[in-house]
Amino acid sequence: MKTFDIKTSKHQECIDITSQIANIVKDTKIQNGICFIYTPHATGGIIINENWDPNIGDDFIELISQIIPEGKWRHDKVDNNGASHIKSSIIGPSEYIPIENNQLTLGRWQNIMFTEFDGPKNKRTIYVTILKKDYTEGN
């Protein structure tokens, strides 16, 4: 397992973390397996989506903010981030990606992104766990 940290700069944003994860996969030299990406934050998430056009991330944040508006949740009485927790719960903290030939098997337009819903934050941690596929006889 490897970890890395990112810094977020906006209250809500999508940050492409594909290159960091691809480098971790490459460094393992594991040819075939599964890459598990996880973030332990209750107001952030992990998604896979297009990032060639940065408007996709902005559109995603805009849509989820329309569906889950801020300032109307009971949790806001505690620390004013009820919407952030709900968004994170719906998006989820993790993704799995197969590894083939020591590379992530992402589609042509797919990238891995951290979604920030309660920023900016100086430190958001990403965990990357690689499971090697076992090709022993009988499996």
Residue 139 has pLDDT above 70, yes or no: no
Give me the pLDDT at residue 51, please.
84
Structural domains present in the chain: 2-132 (2.60.120.460)
**If pLDDT is split at 50, 70 and 90, which confidence band does 138 have?**
low
Give the per-residue pLDDT at 4. Answer: 98
- DSSP per residue over 26-79, as a string? HHHT--EEEEEEE---TTEEEEEEE-SSTHHHHHHHHHHHHHS-SS-STTHHHH
What phi-psi label fits residue 71: left (phi over 0), alpha (psi between -120 and 50 degrees) or beta? left
How confident is the model over 59-115, as pLDDT tens digits? 999 999 999 999 999 999 999 999 999 999 999 999 999 999 999 999 999 999 999
51 and 112 Cβ atoms separated by less than 8 Å: no
Residue with tokens 């903290």: 93
Higher-pLDDT residue of 54, 118: 118
- Confidence (pLDDT) at 92: 98
What pTM, to 2 d.p., does this model score?
0.93
Mean pLDDT of the chain: 95
